[in-house]
Amino acid sequence: MDLYGALDLDASATAADIERAYLRLARRYHPRINPGDRLAEERFRQVSQAYEVLGNAERRREYDRSRIVNHPATVEATIAFEGFDFSSLAQGHEAATFSEMFSDVFQDAARRVTSPERGSALELTMPLSFEDAMRGGHFPVSVVRQERCPGCAGAGRVSIAPVTCPACRGAGATRWARGHMVFTKPCDPCGSTGRLTFQVCRVCAGSGVQARSEVVTLVIPPGIDDAARMAVPGRGHAGARGGPMGDLYVTIEVSPHPVFSRDGRDLRMVLPVAVHEAALGAKVDVPTLTGPVKVKVPPGTGSGSKLRVRGQGIPSAHSADPALAGDLIVEVQIVLPPVRDERSKELLREFGALNPADVRAHLFGAQS
Ligand SMILES: [Zn+2]
Ligand SMILES: [Zn+2]
């Protein structure tokens, strides 16, 4: 067996290619996804063993060397379960006993049959409007999770009246010969008893789980950050063969706001203020998360000045007390209202004449 071929790759594959190919193929041929499918099971074993060598830089170099000189390496021989050539092994540089070579195969088989396994995690992304993220609250989210199968209560199999095991014809073990050597392997399907007292569950085809959509209500704390990740224990996929449930992970995606931006617990915004309001002082309406509030712009406020509106920032995640909330920081931006009529122009000329100071003098201060 060519290890690269087993992963649908060639020898130029990068470590990342190998990783990806392994994850993709291991998922496709996993025995739990293909219960009772001998071909998938064999393919899964080849994929796993190819990855064991190619996924390890040192073992991969060794394999590449042996491949170039066309010398069948020990690792390759152990993988080719069928068509195994003992003469090449005898010449191999790494001697191994038969039990060592096959031990992992048998252990895999034993693990598959008996062990309950923790359910895998369920990941999802939840978009939230800026306002919802600031307010927090209860948000329903629809998830499709693998639940324990109702047909077999997650066992993957159901009891039946005992029958003779068709795999070993009641012998409890399978035997095969290779040359003049005879091998014996305990029978998996009947656990070496020769009799079957259960059959694969028809509802879930032996996986013990079944896809079901469900609504989970998330409790979002006020002021949650963009990209925050929430864990909901026990709401992921069901475990195989009665194993515990995995966890649900939700990544929050907060959409940006057209007016406000976040700065820790504070909110920031730019507030346009007309020239006469800035010069003479004014009370102006400023938007907040809870509606407009009046803010006093002091006389002579310059562009870029910052006004702090206490308690109108991001609410505390733990308390509704506005004293614990952040502040709203308003940056003043002076704007000139359109001047179209003669009277306004006349007033501005007069204003200029009354205030002849050069507002750009400081730019040239160093030269004069
Ligand atoms: Zn079932
Ligand atoms: Zn059997």
Helices (H), the chain: 3-6, 15-29, 38-54, 57-68, 74-79, 86-91, 98-114, 130-135, 275-280, 342-354
Instruction: State whether 89 and 132 are in the same domain.
Output: no
Output 15 or 320, whichever has higher pLDDT. Answer: 15
Q: Are residues 204 and 297 both part of a single domain?
A: no
What is the predicted pLDDT for the residue at 90?
36
Q: What is the pLDDT of residue 239?
A: 80
- Is 131 contained in some domain? yes
* Lowest-pLDDT choice from 33-42, 81-90, 294-303, 305-314: 81-90
Domain boundary among 79, 114, 149: 114
Instruction: State the residue range of the domain holding 58.
Output: 3-114
CA of 38 to the centre of ligand 2 (A): 15
Instruction: Tell me what percent of the residues of the chain surpass a pLDDT of 70.
Output: 86
Which of 254, 275, 300 is the last residue in one of the domains?
A: 254
Residues 326, 249 share a domain: no
Please determine, for residue 21, whether its predicted confidence score (pLDDT) is greater than 70: yes
pLDDT tens, position by position, 69-127: 543 333 333 333 333 333 333 333 343 444 344 444 444 444 444 567 788 888 999 99
- Expressed in angstroms and rounded, the spacing between residue 168 Cα and the centre of ligand 2 is 4
Q: Of 114, 145, 174, which residue sits at a domain end?
A: 114
Whether 55 is in a domain gets the answer: yes
Q: Which ligand is nearest to the CA of 35?
A: 1
Domains of the chain: total = 3
Q: What is the mean pLDDT of residues 131-139?
A: 92
Mean pLDDT throughout 204-225?
Answer: 86
**pLDDT of the residue at 114:** 57
CA distances from 248 to 126, 253, 281 (A): 12, 16, 54
Q: Under DSSP, is residue 106 helix (H, G, I), strand (E, B) or coil?
A: helix
CA 150 to centroid of ligand 1, rounded, Å: 6
Pairing of strands 122-128, 248-254: parallel
CA of 201 relative to ligand 2 center, distance in Å: 18
Under a CB-based contact definition with an 8 Å cutoff, are residues 333 and 271 in contact? yes
Taking only the tens place, the pLDDT of each residue in 164-200 is: 888 888 888 888 777 777 788 888 878 888 888 888 8
158 alpha carbon – ligand 1 mean position (Å): 8
The alpha carbon of 205 and the centre of ligand 1 are apart by a number of angstroms equal to: 6
Residue 324 has pLDDT above 60, yes or no: yes
130 plus 247 within the same structural domain:
yes
- Domain identity same for 145 and 216: yes
- Kindly report, residue by residue over 229-267, the tens digit of the pLDDT: 998 888 888 887 677 888 999 999 999 999 999 998 899
At 366 the pLDDT is: 59
Residue 19 and residue 132 share a domain:
no
Mean pLDDT over the full length of the chain: 81
Instruction: Tell me the CA–centroid distance for residue 174 and ligand 2, in Å.
Output: 8
* Average pLDDT, integer, range 59-76: 63
Predicted structure pTM score: 0.52
| Closest listed ligand to the CA of 210 | 1
Q: Please report whether residue 180 resides in a domain.
A: yes
Task: Calculate how far, in angstroms, residue 70's C-alpha sits from the geometric centre of ligand 1.
Answer: 48
pLDDT of residue 68: 63
CATH number of the domain to which 68 belongs: 1.10.287.110
In a domain, 170, yes or no: yes
Rounded mean pLDDT, 122-151: 90
What is the C-alpha separation between 284 and 229, in angstroms, rounded?
39
Query: Do residues 322 and 330 touch, judged by C-beta distance below 8 A?
Result: no
Report how far ligand 2's centroid is from the alpha carbon of 169 (Å).
Answer: 6
249-253, 307-311, 362-366: range with lowest mean pLDDT: 362-366
Residues 349 and 231 in one domain: no
- Ion ligand 2 neighbours (CB, 5 A) are 165, 167-168, 187, 190
In the structure, ligand 1 is a single-atom ion and the residues with CB under 5 Å from it are: 149, 151-152, 201, 203-204
189 CA → ligand 2 middle, Å: 5
In a domain, 368, yes or no: no
290: CATH: 2.60.260.20
Q: Cα(106)–Cα(102) distance, rounded to whole angstroms? A: 6
